[in-house]
Chains A and B, each alone.
Chain A
């Protein structure tokens, strides 16, 4: 079974600063996906960024980037030039890669979340 650990329950940072959210995971799988999901206050959870384990290059999406260290089983999220709209709960999640034998029924395993507050 996979586990995902987010050791920072809460963080806060000044607007325009850079912040890094930590995530570690444990798995015996070699092929998998890692995700960061964002849940703004009273709004729907959305996907921020994903990383395929077989890719060495770290994923980036505008101001969001990850530092993926496969050997260390670490997957941190960096938010650059933070904005007030970045205030949210952030969840790290793991999913095994699709296997034909499982018919694409892989499931996400979530961490406990980090509540990020951007201070004006």
Chain B
């Protein structure tokens, strides 16, 4: 079974703190994604990585950065957390190729910024 894990299920941080959310997958997937999930807005892509050290901005990258130093690990960084970044954050991974399409999701991290 594919497994995507996230470092925390719940996180509470203060405004201005630097926040690290980590995601690890165990299926040697090339592609990894960070989404933000908000009620009424669905899932919005923050950043995407298609290989080690490679990244691409998604639809809402402002206020976020990412790091992928190893294939299995993809980190989302909030350089200076703000209250409008309170949300559910979902990580996902997928093989890169012409015959694969299913994305596997982590359990999510519910981040509260006070």
Contacts and interface: CB of A to CB of B under 8 A. Distances in A.
Contact of A112 (B42, B96, B100, B107): B42
Interface in A68-120: 91, 95, 98, 100, 103-105, 107-108, 110-113
A112 B105 contact: no
Q: How extensive is the interface on chain B, given as a class?
A: 20 to 34
Contact of B40 (A9, A35, A43): A9
Nearest to B106: A44
Interface of A: 4, 6, 9, 33, 35, 37, 43-47, 50, 91, 95, 98, 100, 103-105, 107-108, 110-113
A112 B90 CA distance: 15
A29 to B, nearest CB: 15
Nearest to A1: B59
B48 A110 contact: no
Interface of B: 4, 30-31, 33, 40-45, 48, 50, 56, 58, 90, 95-98, 100-103, 105-108
Given A46-B105, A47-B102, A95-B101, A105 B56 contact: yes
A103 B42 CA distance: 26
Contact of B101 (A33, A111, A113): A33
A45 B98 contact: no
Nearest to B98: A98
Interface of B is mostly: loop
User: B42, B106, B107 — which one has the most chain A CB atoms within 10 A of its CB?
Assistant: B42
Contacts of B40: 9, 112
A73 B97 CA distance: 26
B42 A91 contact: yes
A43 B42 contact: no
Given A45-B90, A105-B50, A110-B42, A98 B56 contact: no
Given A45-B90, A47-B102, A100-B98, A105 B43 contact: no
B42 A104 contact: no
Contacts of A110: 42-44
Contacts of A33: 101
A26 to B, nearest CB: 15
